[in-house]
A = this chain, B = another copy of it.
Amino acid sequence: MPAGRKRQGTLEANRREELLQAAARLFVEKGFDATTTRDIAEAVGMRSGSPFYHFRSKQELLKAAMIAGLETGYRRLQAASEDIVDPAQRLRVMIRVHLGNLLEGDCQVPMLLYESRALDAAARAEIATVTDRYQETWQATLDELAAIGKLRSSAAPLRLLLFGMLNWSSQWYRADGALSLDQIAAAAADLLLM
Contact = CB atoms under 8 A, between A and B. Distances in A.
Interface of A: 30-34, 114, 117-118, 152-153, 155-158, 160-169, 171-172, 178-179, 183-184, 186-188, 190-192
Nearest to A113: B171
A188 B152 CA distance: 11
Given A164-B165, A168-B168, 9 more contacts: A31-B31, A152-B190, A153-B191, A156-B179, A157-B169, A157-B179, A161-B165, A161-B188, A191-B192
A169 B160 contact: yes
Contacts of A188: 161
A161 B171 CA distance: 11
CB-CB nearest 6 A-B residue pairs:
A164-B168, A33-B33, A155-B187, A164-B165, A161-B165, A164-B164
A187 B172 contact: no
A156 B184 CA distance: 9
Contacts of A192: 191
A161 B158 CA distance: 13
B30 A187 contact: no
16 contacts: A32-B33, A33-B34, A152-B152, A152-B191, A156-B187, A160-B168, A161-B165, A161-B184, A161-B187, A161-B188, A161-B191, A162-B165, A163-B168, A164-B165, A164-B166, A164-B168
